[in-house]
Amino acid sequence: MTQLKKQVASTLPANISLDWLRSAYSHMVLIRAFDKKVVALQRTGQMRTYPSCLGQEAIGVGIGLALQDNDVFVPYYRDQATLFLRGVSLTQIMQVWGGDERGHLFEGAARRDLPLCIPIATQMTHAAGVAIALKSRAEHQACLVTCGDGATSKGDFSEALNLAGLWQLPMVCVINNNQWAISVPLHKQTACQTLAQKAVAAGMEGVQIDGNDVAEVYQAVDRALTKARQGKGPTLIEAVSYRLSDHTTADDATRYRDLEQVNNAWEREPVKRLQSLLHAHQGWSPEQENALLESVRKQVDDAVTAYLSIPPQPADEFLKYQFAEMTTPLALQISWQHERFPEHETSDSNGVQKS
Ligand SMILES: Cc1ncc(C[n+]2csc(CCOP(=O)(O)OP(=O)(O)O)c2C)c(N)n1
Ligand SMILES: [Mg+2]
């Protein structure tokens, strides 16, 4: 198991500039402030169940900075930072967790990315499918999929990895090993010494990295993506971190884990660590910190204002997108819904809201 560094390295990571680190730090601070705000919205009844990414900022930002626009990102539900760096707005991310699927109308670099996946590990097989398409079209781009440590126990995980290894697919899988699958600790999840070694059975390269070190995440993911784009096969990356938050806002982690363990994990948390590294190299001043916090506060507040002002999705929307053509049973359900709840907003059969 990687010994996560508590202290700041005295030298800068190779081939990483202070400017790069400052930019990564700014993204991480933004995501942390955003995450805190979304939890507060949930606590005040303005957000649905939300999975915090507290402590996972280095993984999300490292991946987001390594992906290229034409790569395909297949996320799971704790990927707020990567989604943001793909061009998905903070408002859209809140929309998704507020139960409004219109948040999934990704554009820009994320236009080919898949929606957030809630069923554990099913995104692995979707990613293998995407990677087959990229390879057969000779697109020279890669597909990157993420999952949690718990997901590695699922059949979908092994099946997708097996296929990726066998067909040498342009696929990179990053496991966010945050040590917990809700209340199940890693040592009750697997007898493997590391999750990276699951790559061996699939015939692919596996690496374990420190998921609290954004430069290490970026460099490992960048290397794996470059390899995949060059047709040199898939990579499994285990990014070791710690889930500092509850599993979701519906969970209370104090019921199943020691405060001492959590306190120890806080000493290695990624944002403070990067800030200390910048300070150690005279790369960050109190004025820069204050300016960043002010700009982050404004970005988050503006995104929340925009989110809260979005008109609700028409109530019949969730019945509209399952088939290309409306089926008779679904059409009947929609008309019953209109009869029963005439006060609800409705939409026409193309999903356009009627006034
Ligand atoms: C197929 C399936 N089974 C069970 C669940 C319930 N569930 C939600 S999150 C979770 C734990 C996942 O843990 P991990 O893969 O480590 O990801 P993390 O939440 O820690 O990031 C489970 C079992 C689910 N969403 N989907
Ligand atoms: Mg986990």
Query: How confident is the model over 304-330, as pLDDT tens digits?
Result: 999 999 998 887 887 887 888 999 999
pLDDT, position 347 = 62
pLDDT, position 9 = 62
**70 phi/psi in degrees, rounded to 5:** -85, -5
- 177 three-class SS: strand
Residue 352 pLDDT > 60:
no
Q: Does 182 sit in the ligand 1 pocket, CB within 6 Å? A: yes
What are the sequence ranges of the domains in the chain?
A: 18-308, 314-355
Closest ligand 1 atom number to CA of residue 121 = 1
Q: Where are the beta strands (DSSP E) in 9-103?
A: 72-74
Residue 275 pLDDT > 50:
yes
Task: Kindly report the protein residue whose alpha carbon is nearest to atom 12 of ligand 1.
Answer: 181
Residue 11 pLDDT > 90:
no
How far are the Cα atoms of 19, 157, 304 from residue 153, in angstroms, in the given order? Answer: 39, 7, 37
Q: What is the pLDDT of residues 133-152, one digit of tens each?
A: 999 999 999 999 999 999 99
Task: Kindly report the protein residue whose alpha carbon is nearest to atom 13 of ligand 1.
Answer: 181
| 99 token code pair | 């139960």
Measure 270 CA to ligand 1 centroid, in angstroms: 23
Q: Does 243 sit in the ligand 1 pocket, CB within 6 Å? A: yes
In the residue annotation, 340 being an active-site residue is answered as no
Spot the catalytic one: 256, 297, 338, 344: 256
AA identity, residue 277: L
Protein residues within 5 Å, CB atom, of ion ligand 2: 148-149, 178, 181
Measure 351 CA to ligand 1 centroid, in angstroms: 31
Q: What is the pLDDT of residues 176-220, one digit of tens each?
A: 999 999 999 999 999 999 999 999 999 999 999 999 999 999 999
- pLDDT confidence bin for 7, thresholds 50/70/90: low
Residue 83 pLDDT > 70:
yes
91-116 average pLDDT score: 96
In the residue annotation, 247 being an active-site residue is answered as yes
Residue 10 pLDDT > 70:
no
Measure 120 CA to ligand 1 centroid, in angstroms: 5
AA identity, residue 273: R
Superfamily classification of domain 18-308: Thiamin diphosphate (ThDP)-binding fold, Pyr/PP domains (3.40.50.970)
**H or E stretch including 210?**
strand 205-210
